[in-house]
Structures are given as C-alpha cells and as structure tokens.
Amino acid sequence: MIAGALALQGAFREHLKIFAKLGADTREVRRREDLEGLDALALPGGESTVQGKLLRDLGLLEPLRELILAGLPVMGTCAGLILLAREIGDNGERHLGTLPVRVQRNIYGRQSGSFVCEGRAGSCESFRQVYIRAPGIAEILDPETEILAEARGRITGVRYRNQFAFAFHPELTENTDLHELVLRSVRAPAVRKAA
C-alpha cells in the first residue's frame, strides 16, 4: 500500500512518518505523476492559501479533485481540512471543495489560537488534540457526514465517505489511531472482496 502526503508546504513529513510506522510505503506528492497508484493521501497542516495556489499552479487541483471524487482515501488536517471544504466562511476561496462542510478559518483567533486540549476522536475519549491557528467546522452540509471528533463543544473531525478531516493535528501526537482509521478504509474493500 502506498500512502502519500501532499508535500508542497507544511507538516507533511510527520504524516509520512506515521504512515510508515503503520506499515505503509510512503510518497511525497508534488507532481501529477506522483498521484499515480496512490492508495491514500494526507493533506497536511500549513497555510491553505499557499497550498491552494501551488495546487493550481502545478496543475494538481483538478486531477486530485477527480481522484477524491472517485474514492481515493484522503486525510486533511487543519489547512488540509480547509482545502477539502465545500464552503469557506467569509467568502473564502474554495479549493478542492469535495467535503460537504462549511469551515471558518482561524475560528479560535489568530494570536491565541494555538492550544492543546483533550477531546473525543474516533473511539478514543481523551485524544490529545493540538490546534495551531485552526479552522472550525461551522456547519455540516450533508447528513451522510459522520462526526469523528469533538472538543470544547465543537465538531473537530468528520468523515464523509472516503474523506477524513480534522481541525487539529493528529500527526503531531503519538496516537496513530486516526491514521490507522484512514489506512483501514483502504484495506476494507479488499477484505470484502476476498470474503
């Protein structure tokens, strides 16, 4: 299995380290060709406006959007959640637009917007959630969307079909559960086929 991370800007190495720890082969994704044969892709934290511009400039935005709509498992964290979102509050520019949520950038404020807290994530009730100038999931736009994480009274993680997205940074803590969840969603169809 090949698990990649979009490696244009931001904390992509941390995602690849976790994927490797979980037994996947890893790949830094920078060009169109790098998308070939991928089984899963992390969209890391960083700066969504910069990443969105690079995706466009490098001709990656459309091919990536098509792959996601065709079922490629993706995991967006922080800026990655913004890249995936269908709507961005305050008339923000939409990028991939495949995930039916409305996000609000810097929902916790720009200056004091970085903190760590515990909250539910997946089956873990006390997941250490690291926030760095994080966006918030202000609204879910499709009832098929599952809430995967919560903290401080807010929705902080969702799953919609093959798309997983978190406002915090699971790649910056020791808990590998959420990456495992994404990789398991790659393996699941094969298991079903074999059965």
Which residues does the annotation mark as catalytic?
78, 169, 171
154-160 and 163-166 as β-strands: parallel, antiparallel, unpaired?
antiparallel
14 neighbors 171 (Cβ within 8 angstroms): yes
134 neighbors 78 (Cβ within 8 angstroms): yes
Q: Which of 29, 82, 84, 186 binds ligand GLN (CB under 6 A)?
A: 82
Of 84, 71, 38, the closest CA to residue 162 belongs to 71
Let me know if 90 is exposed, middle or buried by CB neighbors in 10 A (0-12, 13-18, 19+).
exposed
In whole angstroms, how close is the CB of 71 to ligand GLN at the nearest point? 25
In whole angstroms, how close is the CB of 9 to ligand GLN at the nearest point? 10
Collect all residues with Cβ–Cβ distance below 8 Å to 79 and sequence separation of at least 6: 10, 43, 44, 45, 46, 47, 48, 51, 135
Q: Which of 15, 27, 95, 105 binds ligand GLN (CB under 6 A)?
A: 105
- Pattern of binders to ligand GLN over 33-72, x per CB under 6 A? ------------xxxx------------------------
Q: Which of 78, 84, 137, 151 binds ligand GLN (CB under 6 A)?
A: 78
| Sheet with strand 136-140: strands edge to edge | 85-88, 99-104, 136-140
Q: Choose between 29 and 85: whose C-beta lies nearer to ligand GLN.
A: 85
In whole angstroms, how close is the CB of 82 to ligand GLN at the nearest point? 5
CA-only gyration radius of the chain, Å: 15
Give the range of 57-65, 75-83, 119-127, 150-158 binding ligand GLN by CB under 6 A.
75-83
Q: Is 106 in the site for ligand GLN (CB under 6 A)?
A: yes
Q: Choose between 1 and 53: whose C-beta lies nearer to ligand GLN.
A: 53
Considering only residues 110 through 169, tell me which ones interact with ligand GLN, judged by CB under 6 A.
132-133
Give the range of 18-26, 78-86, 174-182, 183-191 binding ligand GLN by CB under 6 A.
78-86
Distance CA 65, CA 127 (A): 30
> Which residues contact ligand GLN (rule: CB under 6 A)?
45-48, 78-79, 82, 105-106, 132-133
